[in-house]
Amino acid sequence: MRDCVIRSVGWTVPEASISNEELVEVFNAYADRFNADNADAIAAGAAAEIPHSSEKFIEQASGILNRHVVDKDGLMDIDRMRPRIPHRDKEAMAFQAEFGVSAAKKALEKAGRTADDVDGVIVASSAQQRNFPGVSIEIQNGLGMTRGWAFDMTMACASAIFAMQQARELIRTGQADAILIVCPEIMSAINHYRRREVHFIFGDAAAAILLEAGDREAGGWELQGVRLETKWSNALRSDFGFMNHTEFEDDEPFEAFVDQDGHRVFRDVIPMASSVSSKLISDLGYQPHDIRRAWLHQANIRIVQAVAKKALDREPTADVAPIILNEYGNTSSSSVLMTFDKNSSDMAVGERGLLCAFGAGYGCGAAIIQKR
């Protein structure tokens, strides 16, 4: 069966960014107002006081210093604290499709390919902007593809690796020669900016990766193997969905957004991600030291370092396990692709790396690639 190769990665982030200092300022102002408005109930024990957030808490908990967002004003508005995105007519390209197209175009340009070279588009992200038509099909159209297929899939933060497995199978079985995986993540619209435990976590980014049959051209990275595992957990949840409005206690939809038990996630995900990575490394007949670098999902600096240390059996220096979450926050499925793209140009032919993404589900996907 023929090889599947990573040809290029393209990505983009919105221009606007929010520092921890700015985020804490609006959160604390909201907390103060809530606590004052509910002073009697809090005193009577009927409502819980909202504690302040702080830059130190955020940095210690996550390593995040900054995040890029599609709408800073809406998030910094104490009366709103969610993005404000102009409603678009159906004839205009959807916001998420547009975001994805800009990343996909960069990937194509870097590879010297045009839309005509692509057989299929997979949108793999935490959530799609609408039920149908598929955002992937709109991206296929937006790129100017006149043939082929597209579909949407979701596997939270691990979506990119799960899609790479599907794309690899389609290429290896000869059903496609080139597939674009697009991860347009508008996490600021899913995050809950009034929950202290999560308000700092996410950032917005779109990334795209072009996979091709290896015989088309030299270069790129051989995708040598992928391993996927999932294991049910309620510790990371977002209940927003098409049935909310049918439920008895019809919440404000905003309340259905991200909620997590961070300590539990930390405890469960590190062994899972390192074990999936280790199994893949040994399945392919390698030792940890055969793998030069680990590009890991950027959820949390301590998780990244712990997984890299276990899977690659050495100190997780910046060379072994590069970090980008300080600047971008957790950008969900796009983060592993961005980390790879920003930290791979120094690698020599024959060197290998591990891509590993993990998150809600729990879902974990790992891939071993080798520079050609």
Partner 1 sequence: MINAVIRSTGLWTPPDSVSNDELVVCYNAWVEKWNGENADAIAAGQLDAKSPSSSGFIEKASGIKSRYSIDKAGVLDVDRMRPEVRRRNDGEISIMAEAGLAAAREALQRAGRDPADVDGVICSATTMQRTYPCIAIEIQHALGIDGFGYDMSVACSSGTFGLINAVNSIKTGQAKSILLVTPEITTPQLNFRDRDSHFIFGDVAVALLIERDDMADDGWSILDTRMKTSYSNNIRSNLGFLNACENPEPAFEDRYFTQEGRRVFKEVCPMVAELILDQLTANDLSSADMKRLWLHQANINMNMMIARKVFDREFTVEEAPVILDEFANTAGAGSLVAFHRHADGFAPGEKGLLCSFGAGYSIGSVIVEKRTA
Please report, as residue ranges, which positions from 232 to 271 form the binding site for partner 1 (by CB under 8 A): 232-234, 236-243, 245-249, 253-254, 256-257
CA pair distance 268, 359, nearest whole angstrom: 10
Instruction: Write down the least CB distance from residue 324 to partner 1, Å.
Output: 22
If binding means CB under 8 A, how many residues of this protein chain bind partner 1?
80
Chain residues 145-174 in contact with partner 1, contact rule CB under 8 A: 147-156, 162, 165-166, 168-170, 172-173
Chain residues 190-219 in contact with partner 1, contact rule CB under 8 A: 190
- The answer to the question of residue 356 lying near partner 1 (CB under 8 A) is no
Chain residues 63-92 in contact with partner 1, contact rule CB under 8 A: 71, 74, 82-87, 90-91
**Token pair in block for residue 293:** 């670098």
**Token pair in block for residue 352:** 């290998």
Choice between 227 and 292, CB closer to partner 1: 227
E strand or H helix at 337: helix 334-342
E strand or H helix at 123: strand 120-124
**Token pair in block for residue 331:** 């950008």
Contacts (Cβ under 8 Å, ≥6 apart) of 10:
103, 104, 105, 106, 107, 108, 109, 110, 207, 208, 341
Choice between 10 and 120, CB closer to partner 1: 120
The stretch among 185-193, 203-211, 283-291, 302-310 that binds partner 1 (CB under 8 A) is 185-193
Choice between 169 and 217, CB closer to partner 1: 169
Contacts (Cβ under 8 Å, ≥6 apart) of 9:
107, 110, 207, 208, 209, 210, 337, 338, 340, 341
Choice between 86 and 350, CB closer to partner 1: 86
CA pair distance 224, 1, nearest whole angstrom: 12
Instruction: Write down the least CB distance from residue 37 to partner 1, Å.
Output: 22
**Token pair in block for residue 247:** 């439920």
Choice between 65 and 94, CB closer to partner 1: 94
Q: Could you confirm whether 157 is annotated as catalytic?
A: yes
HSE-CB for 360 with a 13 A CA cutoff? 21
CA pair distance 293, 343, nearest whole angstrom: 9
Instruction: Write down the least CB distance from residue 162 to partner 1, Å.
Output: 5
Chain residues 24-63 in contact with partner 1, contact rule CB under 8 A: none
Instruction: Write down the least CB distance from residue 204 to partner 1, Å.
Output: 12
The stretch among 19-27, 36-44, 184-192, 336-344 that binds partner 1 (CB under 8 A) is 184-192
C-alpha Rg value of the chain to the nearest Å = 21
CA pair distance 121, 151, nearest whole angstrom: 7
Choice between 65 and 123, CB closer to partner 1: 123
Chain residues 101-140 in contact with partner 1, contact rule CB under 8 A: 120, 126-134, 136-138, 140
Name the catalytic one among 157, 183, 356, 364.
157
Q: Which residues are catalytic?
A: 157
